Structure 1
Amino acid sequence: MVALADATGADSRGIVVRDLSMYFGHTLVQRDLSFHIAPASVFMIMGVSGCGKSTLLRHMIDLQRASQGRIMFDGQSLTDGDVQKRNAIQDRIGVLFQNSALWSSMTLAENVALPLQLHTKLRPAEIDDQVAFKLALVGLDGRQNRMPNELSGGMRKRAGLARAMALDPSYLFLDEPSAGLDPNTSQQLDGLILKLRDALGVTVVAVSHELPSIFAIADDSIYLDNVEKTAIAHGKPGELVENAAPNRVRAFLTRTPVVEEATDGE
């Protein structure tokens, strides 16, 4: 097994998850998760369907509260119950949900403007400037007045990214960003994610099972196992394949059948 990184001694910069366990009622989802996400990196949460990837993401953006453990952003705890601290962390987080979650009755400009209207004191003209800049950043300049249903799937993802970036977050969370996209559009979106990381220094945390994207953009990753209900591998995906990761991890990363490891006594 590839040794998991010890988050207890990790640099306080970036995101530190320590001894996190997640439950639905009395049903265990994942247990004892500990890892560190470096600033300005792309971190991938991997695993088969139903293993708890999106659940972990929801815990990390505070949509669900942890049963036990800690989540820290640059040394500030998201899980200590201090509402003021949690709100300050949430203000630094942008989220792209799996289906983009754009308001269908609003234009792209109105969708991107909404967070600025709700959370800043910018004047309307200043908001318009920010909206135009964010849409240009994702390659949608000149499309302010388009409706979501007038866009392709890839363009809706870009619009969702523009809205997620509206408040200039330090952390960008992406839930299955390439889901439902053709290979070429997916590759273009991967390039955009790397561009945002490099140009803005944003830390990206993504949930994905799309292998091309995983290998193309991940600086680091964690594999959530649906059998042991914990993380069984942590590292750069290409290195996990080369360095004898557990069988289920190799099978996932190479799309090959799982060959179960022998147990003691066999």
Structure 2
Amino acid sequence: MSVPEFAPAKVNLALHITGQRADGYHLLDSIVGFASIGDKLTVSEAATYQLTATGAFVEAMPKVEDNLITKAVNWFAANCSENPNVAISLEKNLPAAAGIGGASADAAAVIRALAKLWDKPLPTAQDLLFLGADVPMCLASTSCRVGGIGEELIGVASLSGTPIVLVNPRVAVPTPKVFGALKSRNNPAITNPDFTAETDVIEWVLAQRNDMQDAAKVIAPAINDVLMALESTFPRIARMSGSGATCFGIYGTQDAANEAAQKVATINPNWWVTCGQLI
């Protein structure tokens, strides 16, 4: 039996850092969406554990034993009293250390696939925090407001179908470095939403911010170039996702998003540029 699973890119439409706990973990208040752009994997029963990968970003992946997918498989198998011997085929389409949850999305996707393969319930968000703050939200892979250190998930109005462009200058930005460069860790939380239609959601998101953006731009100045390139295409919003360096533009129509992606890619042929929709 084989189980295919999609690992969509996570997009922090807004990301506020509201504090830091005594143990060092940062408190988040984030509005997260997921894109039709992502990695693809298939999980099959096997005699031994295998992880094989293809795609544009294979070279950036850690060794099999250090991969977050492997850690997720071993933990979930032990938690379910199952044999971790499965064969995983991964198509790696998302860049690493890019602020869009690539490794976390893969780990979450493999857990969803194993739950289907083994007929087991999905773990809780709290259970998955040890794999990283992005894994619980990636397991859900639906529009949500994220609080705590990543374990508090609250559903928000769907942005499904919203046209989006993702751009990365092919510069890896390690999240710990960005946290270390933050000038403030006690920022205001996201304002409570007050909208009645999908069009108002975007306006509300526009009024929010990404508290990691300025710190990330110091570490990776190319983020400035990406944001300016996106802004030149007149999106409704242009902002960095997560800790960067990937930035996104949201557009009023799919044609506008397609044209924007083509323009940015033509002028910057060495960047990773892709377009799709929020799901």
In which range does the TM-score fall when normalised by the shorter chain? Answer: under 0.3
Say which one has the larger Rg.
1
State the TM-score, normalized to the length of structure 1. 0.28
Greater strand content: 2
State the TM-score, normalized to the length of structure 2. 0.27
